[in-house]
Amino acid sequence: MGVLGAKGKVGQAICKGVEDAADLELVATVDKDERIDAFVTSGTQVVVDFTNPDVVMGNLEFLVRNGIHAVVGTTGFDEERLEQVRGWVAESPGTGVLIAPNFAIGAVLSMRFAQAAARFFDSVEVIELHHPNKLDAPSGTAYRTAALIAEARAAAGVGRSPDATATELDGARGADVDGVRVHSVRLAGLVAHQEILLGTQGETLTIRHDSIDRTSFVPGVLLGVREIGARPGLTVGIDPLLNF
């Protein structure tokens, strides 16, 4: 297998995880300004991408057109981008692409718990907290969490969270993602964290997940690497691989 963004914060953790795995071999790595065709010349079967939202689409198009399976952690995938990827894999039958906003098992579970809880509470807001080098806000995980919450509330006929705010300094109430308020904190010392706050009469529920180390993403990524060859087409999130 290979890694794109191999010198980055997560890329380094993935390379180490692969070296420690008896059943996987790291045959090629590529970082900024290095040649992506190294994956073709080395016969790499699966490539993991942890780069950045500006370059990931070009990387993916190259991989799929060359019949190389891809496991993607890089953020920035809206419905339009996912549709574009579906088009590429349709033209390359047998090639699999897995795109997941978060590979940490606790994060995946916390999204599920939030989805299940969403319809029982009047109010819900999301706070995501990350290291200050993060390029995008809100995080990909927060986008996905808000979308799942919104979907669950709409299906149950629950409306927007009550909010009497009449005057507001720009940004004070966070971003509106599918009708759910999402607040982004960037703080030195943090890795990746998220809280989903739910409230109703006389009680609140807080669902919190903390990635305290980037090794938290490694088992989910390696599961994707092992399974993607058997999953042609586009898979979004690692949930199907966990048999949820």
Ligand X SMILES: O=C(O)C1=N[C@H](C(=O)O)C[C@H](O)C1
Ligand Y SMILES: NC(=O)C1=CN([C@@H]2O[C@H](COP(=O)(O)OP(=O)(O)OC[C@H]3O[C@@H](n4cnc5c(N)ncnc54)[C@H](OP(=O)(O)O)[C@@H]3O)[C@@H](O)[C@H]2O)C=CC1
Positions marked catalytic: 130, 134
Size of the site for ligand X (CB under 6 A): 9
Contact partner, 216, from ligand Y, ligand X, none, Cβ < 5-8 Å per class: none
Alpha helices in the chain (DSSP H): 9-20, 38-41, 56-65, 79-90, 105-117, 140-155, 218-227
* Residue 4 near ligand Y by CB under 6 A: yes
Interaction partner, residue 209 (ligand Y, ligand X, none; CB < 5-8 Å by kind) = none
Is 16 marked as binding a ligand?
Answer: no
Is 190 within 8 Å of 130 (Cβ atoms)? yes
Q: Is 32 annotated as a binding residue?
A: yes
From candidates 46, 60, 70, 100, binder to ligand Y by CB under 6 A: 100
Q: What is the three-class DSSP state of 205?
A: strand
User: From the list 103, 149, 225, 235, which residue makes contact with ligand Y (rule: CB under 6 A)?
Assistant: 103
What single-letter amino acid sits at 27?
V
Residue 123: which of 42, 59, 197, 192 has the closest Cα? 197
Q: Which two tokens stand for residue 180?
A: 């759910």
Per 3-state DSSP, the chain is made up of helix, strand and coil in percentages (nearest 5) of 35, 25, 40
Residue 17 CB, nearest distance to ligand Y (Å)?
13
Q: How far apart are CA 196 and CA 216, in angstroms?
A: 20
Site string for ligand X, 75-114 (x = CB under 6 A): x-------------------------xx------------
51 CA to centre of own chain: 12
Stretch that binds ligand Y, among 26-34, 121-129, 150-158, 225-233 (CB under 6 A): 26-34
Query: What is the distance between the alpha carbons of residues 31 and 11, in angstroms, rounded to a whole number?
Result: 9
**Subset of residues 137 to 156 that bind ligand X, contact rule: CB under 6 A:** 139-141
Tell me whether residue 70 or residue 192 sits nearer to ligand X (CB atom).
192
Between 118 and 142, name the residue whose CB sits nearer to ligand Y.
Answer: 142
CB atoms within 10 A of CB 52: 15
Chosen from ligand Y, ligand X, none, partner binding at 30 (C-beta under 5 to 8 Å by type):
ligand Y
> Which parts are annotated binding residues for NADP(+)?
32
Q: Which residues of the chain form contacts with ligand X (CB under 6 A)?
A: 75, 101-102, 130, 134, 139-141, 192
